[in-house]
Structure 1
């Protein structure tokens, strides 16, 4: 198993990440949140551990630097700049292509909060590399017209007690041209704070990624 603290160059800025490749990986899942540090998030680490058990590598990536996070805490400016976040995700996708242990494996994207919109933009930008996408309680509406350009299969995981996320997920599936589904976690809220709810999120995302590996999804 490879487990490294890495720095991913993105438009001249080094982004901190944790890369885990459990032997010959089936794919690498890039995990990101809009403003929260994915590397230190216990929820994201728990989800990543579920992926590792089935041979999926993970890159938990901080989309913002420390200074940018401090700025964002005051203003919220960066977390809602979806093209900005998406460019950093695209840089990470390209960086994975350059590493020998991940160069030949597909990339899957897992986004939460506003990064859920950013992963959709990134999937539209790199259709030849992205095999599947999962949005966890996010804001797919912020992807706007890019939704129609996404070819990878997309799973929206929403809390059963969050009517807004349910509505946003339904509206997004209507705009997507590729395969998409909504997975509802009964009784869950937007944050999926109950460990059982988070376990269902991880299992649903794992099954989605594994079921779509090796399939051609990028036809026009």
Structure 2
């Protein structure tokens, strides 16, 4: 098993991440946290732990530097800078491809809140590397024109009581050209804090990723 703190270099900053890959691994899930959060998000870490038990590697990455996080805490400026966050996810995808032990593994993007929009932007930029995108309580609408360029399949998970975000997801789904599904968790609010709600998110994500991997194996030509 690989388990280490890593540094991903982008054009302007170096971003820390927690990288864990079981052996053998079936794919690597790159997490994009949402508004005002970081790689220490307890919700993303819980989902990541569940996915690792199913054989998925995980990379939880800070998308902002410490200085940017301090500025964002006062102004909320960077959390809505989707082009910036998308570029940094692209850098992380390229970093994964440069790692010799896992470079051939499919990449899955898991985005929460505004991180979901950044994940969709990155998926549109790297269509040959991203297997699928999972959004938890996300804002896919903020991906703008990138929605029409995404080729990877997309799972949108929204709480049934998160009414405004549910509406935004329904509208964004109509603009997706790629295969997609909207999963509503009954009774859940935006942060899925209700008992059992986050477990439903993790199970839905695992099942979705399992299905996508099986589809890829079936489509692969026999040697």
Quickly name the TM-score band, shorter chain normalised.
Answer: over 0.9
| Residue 215 of structure 1, CA deviation | 4.0
> For structure 1, which segment, 121-130 or 203-212, has the greater mean C-alpha deviation from structure 2 after superposition?
203-212
Aligned partner of 2:154 in structure 1 is 154
Aligned partner of 1:31 in structure 2 is 31
> How many angstroms apart in 2 are the aligned matches of 1:157 and 1:89?
20
Aligned partner of 2:64 in structure 1 is 64
| Residue 194 of structure 1, CA deviation | 2.4
More RCO (CA 8 Å, sep 6+): 1
| Residue 109 of structure 1, CA deviation | 0.3
Aligned partner of 1:98 in structure 2 is 98
Runs of 4+ in 1 over 6 A off after TM superposition: none
> How many angstroms apart in 1 are the aligned matches of 2:65 and 2:49?
24
Q: Check conservation: 2:36, 2:72, Cα contact below 8 A.
A: no
Once superposed, what is the RMSD of the aligned Cα atoms?
1.2
| Residue 36 of structure 1, CA deviation | 3.9
| Residue 98 of structure 1, CA deviation | 0.3
> For structure 1, which segment, 41-50 or 86-95, has the greater mean C-alpha deviation from structure 2 after superposition?
41-50
> For structure 1, which segment, 106-115 or 36-45, has the greater mean C-alpha deviation from structure 2 after superposition?
36-45
Q: Give the structure-1-normalised TM-score.
A: 0.95
> How many angstroms apart in 2 are the aligned matches of 1:176 and 1:91?
24
> How many angstroms apart in 1 are the aligned matches of 2:34 and 2:15?
14
| Residue 195 of structure 1, CA deviation | 4.3
Aligned partner of 1:178 in structure 2 is 178
Q: Give the structure-2-normalised TM-score.
A: 0.94
| Residue 34 of structure 1, CA deviation | 3.0
Q: Check conservation: 2:136, 2:156, Cα contact below 8 A.
A: yes
Give SS of 2:79's match: coil
| Residue 214 of structure 1, CA deviation | 5.8
| Residue 86 of structure 1, CA deviation | 0.1
**Does the alignment pair 1:133 with 2:133?**
yes
Aligned partner of 1:203 in structure 2 is 203
When residues 195 and 39 of structure 1 are mapped into structure 2, their CA distance, relative to the original with a 3 A threshold, is farther
| Residue 37 of structure 1, CA deviation | 4.2
Aligned partner of 1:20 in structure 2 is 20
> How many angstroms apart in 2 are the aligned matches of 1:37 and 1:61?
11
Aligned partner of 2:88 in structure 1 is 88
Q: Check conservation: 1:35, 1:72, Cα contact below 8 A.
A: no
Aligned partner of 2:119 in structure 1 is 119
> How many angstroms apart in 1 are the aligned matches of 2:87 and 2:48?
23
When residues 105 and 182 of structure 1 are mapped into structure 2, their CA distance, relative to the original with a 3 A threshold, is same
Aligned partner of 2:107 in structure 1 is 107
Aligned partner of 1:8 in structure 2 is 8
Q: How many residues align structurally? A: 216
Q: Check conservation: 2:28, 2:57, Cα contact below 8 A.
A: yes
